[in-house]
Amino acid sequence: MSATRKSPVSFEVNVHRLPRKGMPVEINADENQRRALAAEHDLLSAERYVVAMTVRPWKADGVRIIGKVEADITQSCVVTLEPVTTHIEEEVSATLVPEGSRLARNDIDGGEFVLDAEGPDMPEPFQGSIIDVGALAEEFFALGIDPYPRKPGAVIDAPDAGDDAPKEAGPLYEGLRKLGQKS
């Protein structure tokens, strides 16, 4: 989690005051928060941003966060620059432990370390007693944003190199031209 800036949807939780059964967290971003999210993630707009999570104690001193982020955003098509509306629905799942916790260490003393790519992630460390679960939810939101949004049916028309091709082209161009003639 980034500590350099404050998330527009920040929601801080004191890990020492969590109820045993967990604490529900709901974030329904207002217009100013959605505008800030759009600016932060290079979107044309964010029409809706809703988070529903549960923050629970985990093992001795860790925290387990599960839930969902849903949003409706508008981006620019990478081909036509026209607006493209997208619905984002991302599952939030994270385990956090205090810095220095034995639960976060990967001690390998001459043994083998087995990592399951499909298994749960290693717990992430946090400092102090306050965690920003709103910033964590924003990270999952960012993962759901399409980096190259494309309007349905939008295509890039490549110009035909035929007569406009340079007469004195290098070997790379000649090789590409020959490949194009074979197809």
What's the whole-number mean pLDDT along residues 80-88?
A: 93
What domain count does the chain have?
Answer: 1
Is the pLDDT at 27 greater than 70? The verdict is: yes
Query: Does some domain include residue 85?
Result: yes
Query: What pairs with residue 49 in β-bridges?
Result: 71
Query: What pairs with residue 55 in β-bridges?
Result: 23, 65
Query: Does some domain include residue 17?
Result: yes
Query: Does some domain include residue 72?
Result: yes
pLDDT in tens, 134-177: 999 999 999 999 999 988 887 777 666 555 555 566 677 777 77
Q: Check residue 69 and give its pLDDT.
A: 97
Query: Does some domain include residue 173?
Result: no
Mean pLDDT over all residues of the chain? 84
Alpha helices in the chain (DSSP H): 31-40, 133-143, 171-182
Q: Check residue 182 and give its pLDDT.
A: 64
Percent of the chain at pLDDT exceeding 70: 77
How far is C-alpha 159 from the chain's CA centre?
35
- In which band, very low, low, confident or very high, does the pLDDT at 49 lie, cut at 50, 70 and 90? very high
The model carries a pTM of 0.75
Query: Does some domain include residue 143?
Result: yes
Is the pLDDT at 109 greater than 90? The verdict is: no
pLDDT in tens, 127-146: 888 999 999 999 999 999 99
Query: Does some domain include residue 43?
Result: yes
Query: Does some domain include residue 172?
Result: no
Residues of 109-136 as b/e, b for ≥16 C-beta within 10 angstroms?
eeeeeeeeeeeeeebebbeeeebbbbbb
Query: Does some domain include residue 177?
Result: no
**Containing domain of residue 141, as a range?**
12-109+120-157
